[in-house]
Amino acid sequence: MKTVAVVGTQWGDEGKGKIVDMLAADADVVVRFQGGNNAAHTLVVDGEKFILRLIPAGALHPNKVCVIGNGTVVDPIALNEEIAALRARGRFTDPSLLKLSCDAHMVMPYHRAIDRAREARAGRRAIGTTGFGIGPAYEDKMARTGLRFDELVNYARFREKLERNIADKNAYLRAVLKAKPLKASEIIDQMKRVRACVLPYLCDTGAYLAEAADAGRRILFEGAHGTMLDIDHGTYPFVTSSNCIAGAVFSGAPLAPGRLDAVLGISKAYTTRVGGGPFPTEIKGALANRLRTEGEEFGSATGRPRRIGWFDAVLARLAVRLNGMWGLALTKLDVLTGIDPLRVCMAYELGKERHVEMPPGRAALERVRPVYEEMPGWRESLSGARALDDLPLNARHYLERVAELAGVPLAMVGVGAPREATIVLRNPFLV
């Protein structure tokens, strides 16, 4: 297979970065196609911890072209800082390896200010955004008032649009959100400084990817967030502001429909989510605290503690259907070591009805009761396992049941944070 997309099957934070980083070794090009720096991938390479927010995970491999597609919204200041931080650690030193779509929209300081002011005003009704301005940036994109990177070429015209936007946003901040307005001169100075840094990376990414695909190069598409955070298909309104499913590759990279060979879904061996919204299999108390600590379940981008739950096969089946998944990579199996019994949600009960598929209307998730199947746990360490036969029998049974309930074959199993702590059953680039 030549073109492969990696997508999350839950509410994000499934460990996509580690899997993308692994697959990048066999890819030529790695592409980010949606989201912004509200998503982050935590990677451990040669004992070093890296957190990537905008740059695709291919940056940690030599000579891999990293593409940021038009479907993303990019904070140019954050992008410049991320590039500088990688280079300071001896990584991603060749500027020719980054391609930034001319058509990607910019996240501006006023987007961040609006995002945070709205959440503060909402109080207990807050959605739980990162405060990084992603939603307001996508709003401006749809309202046709956003600023795209190609506009930086003509700085005089760009400045004129920027000044107009700042005036409009300050009026909204003052009158509606009762928040402090921003200083236009400071934003203009920031953008003038960052402009020279980002201009060399601008590219027609659609044309570049079409040429790469025609040449038979291996292209890996790296999703951010997860299926249940998709603006159309997730647990609305507790979602992100972009499409996260594999179909977004065709508009946000872009890749022509029909040219995607496989979709690899990523799931934890349990479930987590950040922020508000329904969570049928949520665990609370000592067990949740244990899993949160052992799994290091704190947001890479925000540091917020994640909510913890049992594996939810109903969500998994929805993700398989929406993404047309070829295989499933299950991460953090090692975190479940020592828990006995383990539980897997196989269905929901809503009133007198049992649902093995997601019930229509996401509001129903607030009222469903999970139907669990219990399985025996294991106590042996999994950190050294590199093949299924290295795992305890109960761990193998757990994997088999999860794959059966999800309705998709297992492709990989994560048993630790480092690259090498992964059991690879099928690599989509090598079949």
User: Catalytic positions, please?
Assistant: 13, 41
Alpha-carbon span 368 to 279, nearest angstrom:
10
CB-based contacts of 10, cutoff 8 Å, min separation 6: 226, 227, 228, 267, 268, 271, 272, 273, 312, 315, 319
Alpha-carbon span 117 to 310, nearest angstrom:
34
The dihedral of CA 82, 86, 92, 94: what is its sign?
positive
- Residue 173 contacts residue 131 (beta carbons within 8 Å): no
The dihedral of CA 145, 148, 150, 153: what is its sign?
positive
CA dihedral 201, 205, 207, 210 (to 10 degrees): 130
The dihedral of CA 32, 36, 42, 44: what is its sign?
positive
Measured in whole angstroms, the distance separating CA 240 from the mean position of its chain's CA atoms is: 10
Alpha-carbon span 143 to 194, nearest angstrom:
25
Between the CA of residue 148 and those of 74, 79, 138, 194, 198, what are the distances in Å? 9, 14, 11, 14, 12
Q: What does the buried/exposed string (b/e) look like for 258-285 if buried means 16 or more CB atoms within 10 Å of the residue's CB?
A: ebbbbbbbbbbbbbbbbbbbbbbbbbee
Alpha-carbon span 136 to 113, nearest angstrom:
9
CA angle 266, 270, 272 (to 5 degrees): 80
